[in-house]
């Protein structure tokens, strides 16, 4: 984040530079330069005008923000505070509160291996079921532990079927249909998830072609994958294509796009069968031979639990979600919370609507429009005033502050300042030509602030061609300017209001 620190010299120079800039075409709904606090006025403190900072960022579209006293909720500065904008991943803060209140901080997700018949002579006399419990953090290492536990129970074979069930959560094909097929942050969702529902694609040049591998690596274990295949094709575009192979993912990639060697994560569209495929390979390596996985319907299997993996408690799981912005975690916990409220949603939008209604009633936010729990869908809309009202509600800061990522203030070279004038803990949100930041500014002494900044150039976003949606021209530079503007606004508030 290319950002600057508030110093007397910087503030004065920024104010003087800003005076020469044209005014923003969109007039603020309240004064962008409130009176300086008496103690700051006595010391000669000044701050650049918000409109000058916004104009200098050259973001186009709309920039809206609100900043309030975190203790009282009093809004002390705002620009278009009631204008709704796409919140992007900032909405995960709301999802975290929704899941915590509904499921409880100690809630855990369980994944089980269930035998429908007895184990006799090293064989399960019946079916073996891999039963998902909605865990969004299940990984290859956990699956290897399940495979070892199965072998420790003496299982070498199954007389019946190997079944997988992901009915603990609704099956969702992808979070946002508008995203490119190949981006790993837009996976399918199921009650049986693995590796954030991504498969690892590796390649290296061999002779005149490429050797490719599709696998599922963990920190301690790895497994080959057969339900996802890759073919290298001699073409320029598109970069990737995807086809459903009736329970498998069939990918192709453009050969000129591959260098000497590399890797990337690709989404899987049959996460339950993918999980079963990986477990089958890990079990075989330990001497337990399973048939190919088949899907089981929603009926709960009856039998004996042979092995179980339990996730971390919801509190730490949500902290990781907030800090690493994992979309699958947000959607899985959001869906689980909605179901715990007695609704079996048919779509992410329906579940997100239940969450929006809960938030509107719980925190008096007014109407919210949410299409998912992660913020990946561009159709969600939240106003800065609504976000600040949430952040300043009773006991919210106690829950969210520790989950948010520390945002260091940086100098002109992008390096964190050795001495920070105040701490910023916030949730970021980024889509192409959309940037959000919301959280808390905490000084060593003085009042804490809560803020929300939403910037979006939806016209430019709408013009992005489908083939360019992963890395559109100008998108990275726009995001850098947005982050710089966010820090400069925070510095301004620190100079004026703390």
Find tokens 């000058």 and name the residue.
52
Q: Is 127 left (phi over 0), alpha (psi -120 to 50) or beta?
A: beta
Contact 448, 71 (CB under 8 A): yes
Q: CA dist 67 to 70, 409, 438, 449, Å? A: 9, 18, 10, 7
Residue 13 has pLDDT above 80, yes or no: no
364-368 long-range contacts (CB < 8 A, ≥24 apart) are 364/389, 365/389, 365/390
Cβ atoms of 316 and 146 closer than 8 Å: no
Q: Is the dihedral of CA 396, 402, 407, 409 positive or negative?
A: positive
Residue 478 has pLDDT above 60, yes or no: yes
Residue 25: per-residue pLDDT: 29
The answer on pLDDT for 39 being more than 70 is no
- pLDDT, tens digit (0-9, with 9 covering 90-100), for 311-343: 999 999 999 999 999 999 999 999 999 999 999
pLDDT reading at 471 higher than 80: yes
Asked if pLDDT for residue 4 goes beyond 50, the answer is no
**What is the chain's alpha carbon radius of gyration, rounded to the nearest angstrom?**
25
Give which of 382, 355, 374, 354 is closest to 87, Cα–Cα.
382
Tell me what pLDDT residue 31 has. 31
Which stretches does DSSP call E strand in 311-422? Answer: 405-406
Q: Between 411 and 345, where is the model more confident? A: 345
Res 30 pLDDT > 50: no
- Average pLDDT (383-406) is 97
pLDDT, position 52:
97
pTM of the model: 0.90
- Select from 205, 245, 255, 254 the least CA-distant residue to 225: 245
CA 175 to chain centre: 11
pLDDT band at 46 (very low <50, low <70, confident <90, very high): low
Q: Which two tokens stand for residue 350?
A: 């329906």
Question: Environment class of residue 322 by beta-carbon count within 10 Å: exposed (0-12), middle (13-18) or buried (19+)?
Answer: buried
**How do residues 418-427 score in pLDDT, each as one tens digit?**
888 999 999 9
Mean pLDDT of 4-33: 30
CA angle 272/276/277 to nearest 5° reads 115
**pLDDT at position 152:** 97
Asked whether residue 10 carries a pLDDT value surpassing 60, the answer given is: no
- Phi and psi at 324, nearest 5°, equal -105, -5
Q: Residue 225 and residue 358: Cα distance in Å, rounded?
A: 41
Burial (0-12, 13-18, 19+ Cβ within 10 Å), 258:
middle
Q: With 80 as the cut, is the pLDDT of residue 44 above it? A: no
Query: To which H or E segment does residue 334 belong?
Result: helix 327-340
Mean pLDDT of 122-150: 98
- How large is the average pLDDT for residues 82-87? 98
What backbone torsions phi and psi does residue 406 show, to the nearest 5 degrees?
A: -70, 130
Residues 228-254 have pLDDT tens digits of 999 999 999 999 999 999 999 999 999
Q: What's residue 413's pLDDT?
A: 81
Q: What is the average per-residue pLDDT within 14-28? A: 29
Mean pLDDT over 366-386 rounds to: 98
195-214 tens-digit pLDDT: 999 999 999 999 989 999 99
pLDDT tens, 55-73?
999 999 999 999 999 999 9
For residue 414, the model assigns a pLDDT of: 83
Pairing of strands 293-295, 162-165: parallel
Non-local CB neighbours of 464 within 8 Å, separated by 6+ positions: 432, 433, 472
**pLDDT score of 45:** 52
pLDDT surpasses 90 at 227: yes
**So what's the pLDDT on residue 23?**
29
Q: Is residue 35 very low, low, confident or very high in pLDDT (cuts 50, 70, 90)?
A: very low
For helices 327-340 and 348-363, what crossing angle results, to 10°?
A: 70
Burial of 234 (C-beta count, 10 Å sphere; 0-12/13-18/19+): exposed
Looking at the predicted structure, is the pLDDT value of residue 51 above 70? yes
Mean pLDDT rounded to a whole number for the chain: 91
Which pLDDT does position 201 carry in this prediction?
Answer: 98
Taking 90 as the threshold, does the pLDDT of residue 488 lie above it? yes
Summarize pLDDT for 137-166 with one digit per residue, the tens. 999 999 999 999 999 999 999 999 999 999
| 36, pLDDT greater than 90 | no
Residue (of 193, 187, 127) closest to 163 by Cα position = 127
**Whether pLDDT at 24 is above 90:** no
């Amino acid at each position: 984040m290319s950002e600057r620190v508030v110093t007397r010299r910087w503030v004065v120079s920024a104010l003087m530079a800003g005076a020469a800039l044209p005014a923003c075409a969109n007039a603020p709904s309240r004064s962008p330069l409130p009176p300086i606090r008496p103690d700051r006025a006595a010391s000669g403190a000044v701050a650049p005008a918000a409109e000058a900072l916004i104009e200098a960022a050259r973001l186009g579209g709309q920039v809206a923000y609100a900043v309030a006293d975190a203790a009282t909720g009093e809004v002390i500065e705002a620009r278009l505070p009631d204008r709704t904008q796409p919140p992007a991943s900032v909405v995960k803060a709301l999802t975290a509160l929704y899941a915590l209140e509904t499921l409880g901080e100690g809630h855990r997700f369980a994944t089980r291996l269930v035998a429908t018949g007895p184990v006799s002579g090293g064989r399960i006399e019946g079916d073996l079921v891999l039963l998902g419990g909605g865990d969004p953090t299940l990984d290859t290492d956990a699956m290897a532990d399940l495979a070892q536990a199965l072998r420790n129970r003496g299982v070498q074979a199954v007389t019946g079927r190997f079944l997988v069930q992901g009915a603990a959560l609704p099956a969702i094909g992808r979070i946002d249909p508008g995203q490119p097929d190949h981006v790993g942050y837009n996976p399918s969702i199921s009650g049986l998830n693995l590796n954030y529902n991504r498969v690892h694609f590796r390649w290296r040049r061999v002779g005149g072609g490429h050797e490719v591998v599709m696998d599922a690596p963990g920190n301690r274990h790895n497994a080959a994958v057969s339900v996802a295949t890759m073919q290298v094709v001699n073409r320029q575009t598109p970069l990737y294509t995807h086809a459903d192979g009736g329970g498998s993912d069939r990918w192709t990639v453009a050969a000129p796009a591959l260098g000497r060697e590399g890797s990337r994560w690709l989404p899987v569209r049959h996460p339950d069968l993918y999980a079963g495929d990986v477990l089958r390979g890990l079990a075989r390596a330990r001497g337990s031979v399973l048939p190919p996985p088949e899907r089981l319907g929603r009926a709960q299997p009856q039998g004996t639990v042979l092995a179980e993996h339990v996730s971390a408690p919801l509190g730490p799981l949500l902290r990781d979600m907030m800090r690493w912005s994992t979309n699958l975690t947000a959607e899985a916990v959001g869906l689980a919370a909605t179901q715990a409220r007695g609704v079996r949603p048919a779509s992410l939008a329906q579940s997100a609507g239940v969450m929006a209604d809960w938030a509107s009633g719980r925190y008096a936010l007014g109407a919210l429009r949410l299409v998912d729990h992660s913020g990946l869908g561009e159709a969600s809309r939240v106003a800065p005033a609504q976000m600040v009202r949430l952040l300043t509600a009773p006991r919210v800061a106690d829950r969210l502050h520790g989950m948010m990522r520390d945002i260091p203030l940086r100098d002109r070279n992008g390096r964190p300042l050795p001495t920070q004038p105040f701490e910023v803990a916030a949730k970021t949100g980024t889509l192409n030509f959309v940037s959000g930041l919301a959280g808390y500014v905490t000084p060593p002494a003085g009042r804490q602030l809560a803020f929300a900044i939403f910037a979006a150039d939806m016209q430019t976003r709408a013009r992005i061609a489908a083939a360019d949606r992963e890395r559109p021209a100008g998108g990275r530079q726009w995001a850098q300017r947005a982050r710089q503007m966010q820090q400069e606004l925070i510095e301004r508030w620190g100079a004026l209001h703390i």
